[in-house]
A = this chain, B = another copy of it.
Amino acid sequence: MKSWIEVPTDSDFSLANVPFGVCSFPSSSTLSSTTLAPCTPRCCTAIGNHAIDLHLLAEAGLLDNLLMTTESDESRCSEIITNFHPRIIFSQPTLNEFMSCEKHVWVAVRNRLLSLFLDSSSSSSNNDIQIAIQADNRLQQNSALQSQCMHPLSTTLYHLPASIGDYTDFYSSREHATNVGIMFRGRDNALQPNWLHLPVGYHGRSSSVYPSLASSATTSENDCERNLVGGEKMSTVRRPCGQLQVDPLDPAKGSIYGPCKLMDFELEVAFFVGGPTNTDYEQDHNQQQQQPRGRPLTLSEAQDRIFGYVLMNDWSARDIQKWEYVPLGPFTSKNFATTISTWVVTSMALEPFRCETSAGVQGGGGEPTPLEYLKDPNYGSYDVNLSVSIQPSSTSAITQICTSNLKHMYWSSAQQLVHHSVTGCPMNAGDLLASGTISGKDQHNFGSMLELSWKGSREVKLESGEVRKFLKDGDAVIMKGGVKGRVGACRIWTMLCTNFAGY
C-alpha cells in the first residue's frame, strides 16, 4: 500500500490515517481562481506533509458516485450512494454536515480518498489494507488540480473541526477517579458509590473549546523543539483570575479574587458525535405543531454515531475548582479554555487498534455488571499511546512527564454516548464527548499535575533541573497520541502544543 504522494515514515498522516479537519490557506497563491477565498475555512484531509482541500476534490467531481460498502465481498461496490452532495457538504466551514451523514457515507468517502491517494503504477501488493481498494488515478494525473488542492502543512492554518453544539466531559478512567478519590476522601471511599454503575460526566462549556494551532508537519521531537522555541503557531492559554479560598484548608474563611496558583492540564481524548440526531416526533394527535424530542440511543446505534477522535487538554484551575465545585460541579475553573487537536482521526482508522481495556471485562473483577442498556457487546478501547511533555520557557529541553494509553478507560465511548441519551437528551452531529483524564496505574501514567504531584506534595523533576508541582507561566504543554500500525510505527494524532502564559 503506497501513495504517489510522499509520506515520510514518521508522518502522522499515512494511508492508515486519512483524518478530517477544517483548514484555511491565506498564504496560498494557487487558490485565487477558485470559488472559496483562500482565507475561508473549508473541509480537508491530510496525507504525508500535505493538507488536501476536499472542497476542490468535490468540485472536480472526484467525490461523486461514492460506493456503498456492504458486508459481503460479492456485493461490495455495487451500490451508489444517493442523497450525498459532496460539493455542498465539503464547502462548509465545519465538518458538521459531513459528520451528520450515516456511517456508510464516512466509510465511502474514506475509501474514495484512499483510492485517489494510492499509487496506480505501484506494483506493491495490497495485503496491508483491509479492504482491497483499487487505485483511482484522477488526482495523480491532474497536476493542475494537485497544485490547487494540495497545501504544505507548514503553511496550513487550523480551525475547529466542527461547530460544537454541546460539549460534555466524562470521568471514565478508574485510575484517575480513584486517585482523586484517595486524595480528597481517603483510600476507603475513593470511588463514589455510583462510579462503577454509570459513566459519570458533566456538561462543559462549548464556547471555550479552542483549536490547537500546532503545525502537524513537525513530527519529530527535534522539529517540535525548534517549533516551540520559535514559538510559531502555538495557541496560548493565559492563567485565569478568579475566586480562591483565603485559607485553602478552611472554606469558612471565604474567598479572594486573584490569579490561579494551581494551574493544571488534563490529558484526555474526545470524540465527535456523528449521524442523525436521536429525535422522534411526538405522536400526540392533539398537537397542531409537532416537536422533535430526544429518545434514548441503543448501544448498537451508538457504535455507528462515533465519527472520530481528537486529543484534548482540559485546562483546570485547581484552586478555583476546589472553592466553587460544591455542589453543582466545576464551572469557571474549567470554562476559560479547553484545547483540542484539529485533525479528527476517524473511528474507521482506529478500528485496527481495538483492544481490551485495562479493566478487562466489566464485572470480571467483582465490579457490578453494567445494566442492560449499558451492555456493550464490543466493550473495549483502542491501543493508543498518549504522552504529556513540558518545555519550560527557560530551556529548549522537553521533559516527558506522563505516558498513558487510551485503553485505560473503564467506560467505552459507546457506553458514554448511550448513557448521555438515556433520559432522552438529543445528541447532535458535532457534539464533543471527552473521556476525562486518562491515568494509568503507575505514578508516571498519571494524566494531570494534580496526580503527578499528588496534590502538590511531591515535585516533578524536569530535565532542565527545574521542578514542577503545577504549571508555571511560559510552560509549553505537549500532548501526543500514537499507535503502532501494521505498516510500521505511525503517530496518528498531530501534537497538541499549547503555551501557557501569565497575564
CB contact between A197 and one of B200, B255, B327 (< 8 Å): that residue: B255
Contact A332 B202 (CB under 8 A): no
Q: State whether the Cβ of A171 lies closer than 8 Å to any Cβ in chain B.
A: yes
Q: State whether the Cβ of A484 lies closer than 8 Å to any Cβ in chain B.
A: no
CB contact between A171 and one of B171, B328, B372 (< 8 Å): that residue: B328
Mark the stretch among A136-144, A279-287, A461-469 that contacts chain B. Answer: A279-287
Contact B423 A335 (CB under 8 A): yes
Contact A242 B205 (CB under 8 A): no
Q: State whether the Cβ of A219 lies closer than 8 Å to any Cβ in chain B.
A: no
Known contacts being A243-B197, A371-B255, is A233 close to B288, with CB within 8 Å?
yes
Instruction: Find the B residue at minimum CB distance from A499.
Output: B284
Contact A166 B326 (CB under 8 A): no
**Which residues from B are CB-within-8-Å of A371?**
243, 255-257
A296 to B242, CA, bound (A): 10
Q: List 15 A-B contacts (CB under 8 A).
A: A171-B328, A200-B331, A206-B206, A208-B294, A233-B289, A234-B287, A235-B291, A236-B287, A240-B422, A241-B296, A242-B423, A256-B371, A332-B420, A332-B422, A336-B424
Instruction: From A231, A282, A288, A330, name the one whose CB has the most chain B CB atoms within 10 angstroms.
Output: A288
Interface, chain A (partner B; CB < 8 A)? 157-158, 165-166, 171, 192-194, 197-198, 200-208, 210-211, 213, 230-236, 238, 240-243, 251-252, 254-257, 260, 282, 284, 286-289, 291, 293-294, 296, 317, 320, 323-333, 335-337, 368, 371-373, 419-420, 422-428, 431, 499, 501
**Which residues from B are CB-within-8-Å of A291?**
210-211, 213, 235-236
* 16 new A-B contacts at CB < 8 Å, known A166-B206, A207-B428, A240-B424: A166-B205, A166-B207, A192-B326, A194-B324, A194-B326, A200-B331, A238-B424, A240-B422, A241-B423, A242-B422, A242-B423, A254-B368, A329-B329, A332-B420, A333-B423, A335-B420
Contact B296 A419 (CB under 8 A): no
A236 to B255, CA, bound (A): 43
- State the 4 A-B residue pairs at the shortest beta-carbon distance, nearest first: A329-B329, A240-B423, A231-B286, A193-B251
**Which residues from B are CB-within-8-Å of A330?**
328
Report how many copies the assembly holds. Answer: 2
**Which residues from B are CB-within-8-Å of A326?**
192, 194
**Which residues from B are CB-within-8-Å of A242?**
422-423
Contact B287 A232 (CB under 8 A): yes
The minimal Cβ–Cβ distance linking A318 to chain B, given in whole angstroms, is 13
A324 to B200, CA, bound (A): 7
**Which residues from B are CB-within-8-Å of A333?**
423
Instruction: Find the B residue at minimum CB distance from A322.
Output: B194
The minimal Cβ–Cβ distance linking A374 to chain B, given in whole angstroms, is 9
Known contacts being A157-B289, A201-B328, is A257 close to B336, with CB within 8 Å?
no
Instruction: Find the B residue at minimum CB distance from A371.
Output: B257
Known contacts being A194-B255, A336-B425, is A236 close to B320, with CB within 8 Å?
no
**Which residues from B are CB-within-8-Å of A423?**
240-242, 260, 317, 320, 332-333, 335-336
The minimal Cβ–Cβ distance linking A376 to chain B, given in whole angstroms, is 15
A210 to B328, CA, bound (A): 23
The minimal Cβ–Cβ distance linking A305 to chain B, given in whole angstroms, is 14
A503 to B326, CA, bound (A): 34
**Which residues from B are CB-within-8-Å of A282?**
236
A427 to B241, CA, bound (A): 17
Known contacts being A240-B423, A368-B254, is A194 close to B332, with CB within 8 Å?
no
Contact B207 A165 (CB under 8 A): yes
Contact A328 B200 (CB under 8 A): yes
**Which residues from B are CB-within-8-Å of A294?**
207-208, 336
A426 to B293, CA, bound (A): 29
Instruction: From A207, A231, A241, name the one whose CB has the most chain B CB atoms within 10 angstroms.
Output: A207
The minimal Cβ–Cβ distance linking A239 to chain B, given in whole angstroms, is 9
A197 to B252, CA, bound (A): 11
Instruction: Find the B residue at minimum CB distance from A210.
Output: B291
Instruction: Find the B residue at minimum CB distance from A213.
Output: B289
Instruction: From A282, A424, A501, name the one whose CB has the most chain B CB atoms within 10 angstroms.
Output: A424
Known contacts being A423-B317, A425-B208, is A194 close to B323, with CB within 8 Å?
yes
Instruction: Find the B residue at minimum CB distance from A196.
Output: B254
Instruction: Find the B residue at minimum CB distance from A164.
Output: B165
**Which residues from B are CB-within-8-Å of A368?**
254
A198 to B333, CA, bound (A): 13
**Which residues from B are CB-within-8-Å of A331?**
200-203
Instruction: Find the B residue at minimum CB distance from A421.
Output: B332
Contact A431 B207 (CB under 8 A): yes
CB contact between A206 and one of B165, B320, B335 (< 8 Å): that residue: B165
**Which residues from B are CB-within-8-Å of A324?**
194, 198, 200
